[in-house]
Structure 1
């Protein structure tokens, strides 16, 4: 699963994560005002937790931290001193998820709310669940500090949420350092250096593990707020946001256009007008989304067609069957059989 490609020259990060990094630095004895001055930030830029600051400024902050902290791996220590609270809506959204898989899905969906300094992906195979992070500017020395801080923070946040959290392995894109003790203390698992990517490798069974702080009502409110914040970010068109929201709504029944418009802070009329300006419509996107999901479910799994109909928000399987034949000229059974022949 990937995110929308971003222009690295216009990448930004949330003020809340910048505040969290500064608080961690203060706990380690660094002077806040000196750090702000060194990276060209003002206190006023950080007062609103939902505000954004240029990623380039935060890169400067990480560079300052790497040079001012006389530690073998300053990133690991900074990550252990980051607190989930200042991460605002995303931190609370992850903590209140029903399962670790749900939390990871939320992290993938809303990662841009925290920052655009890299891409978080989920890969599964060979008996592993790999949470991979691909940073912007991997060649910069400060990137190592930043990514290690994020990885240490993820482990620190996930550990108390699960009864039996453990890692199979931790992968690092840099060469093996002389001192491994800081890594062993944070990750408590086998370590692999000079890897293709930075990654935390988990047992697949942890995907369905329930989280101790699961809170469905809070989760619903936080998702609404997260979607509204995501809709304000640039570089992702309205069509892409509507398609994502439709995918989320379909799992709960017939999509509600009015609710979707409210989530985007738009009226229904404005939503229709802006979609028309992008060459589409709500109904076209709903049909396209249903068709794409239906074809994926039929190709990738063994779900009965009646269950797929429910997942796509249809109250009756017969309505889904008619729609699918209209889209493809095939029944769901014929499509699945044909795909099976193609795949064999």
Structure 2
């Protein structure tokens, strides 16, 4: 099947330019439009009429798909999205995928029902090829999660380098036996944070005990249960890096339930800097993501796509920050 990207490649223009020609937006030079029309003719390209109709019929609503509405990390991202949406007279329709790919995909089907002008996904678990094909006819932006090697407009942090930073902080405190409670391996941020952990350990010549790397699911319960598993080992870790704050807090609660003190007996680093991480005792050392700014940028990109404006670039990597609090201590 011929796609809009094929037309753009033959005409040596962007897909946005092809879209403007197809929708007769009137903002394309005559010579460029003729090249595009010639490519359409040669390739016998048939535009998706439903998507074209949807693009012309504004709803002033955008859809945001979130993997798990109970995960407090996403609340500030949503606020960032909504702040830009409201400024531009858009409403936000929220879809909770509940960590099910099928549910995520079902929300995307609603795009063909003229209920939204574009979609921001805070999850990247739908088949990549399906989403990329959809994005050729419809405004799609990814935030927080991403596809490796994709050209979809994306806003995120560098999860590998930020995880490496977290692990290196523990190493700087003279910890050598460090455990990692990872995120799910079917989620790109889970895999990338695990990569960052391994890189930090390798760069400092530290061996990774396979028993000290366990896969969690970003919930408090998995952090608690996997920390309890660590504590059954003959040589438990002296420090733990958890791939999000909820699991880190679960790990600390597990350690306390066994009579250990944090950070005196165990140092713990989390990831995300959710609000509760600074309130919890001890206050959690963590990697802070610029969540509000992520949401703002994602909505700004989506508006450009809706308006058929050219993007200056497709991938935006925002800065993260190591926030040092009270959950870590130097190992003597």
**TM-score greater than 0.5 by the shorter chain:** no
TM-score by length of 2: 0.25
* Higher share in helix: 1
Pick 1 or 2: higher relative contact order, CA cutoff 8 A, min separation 6. 2
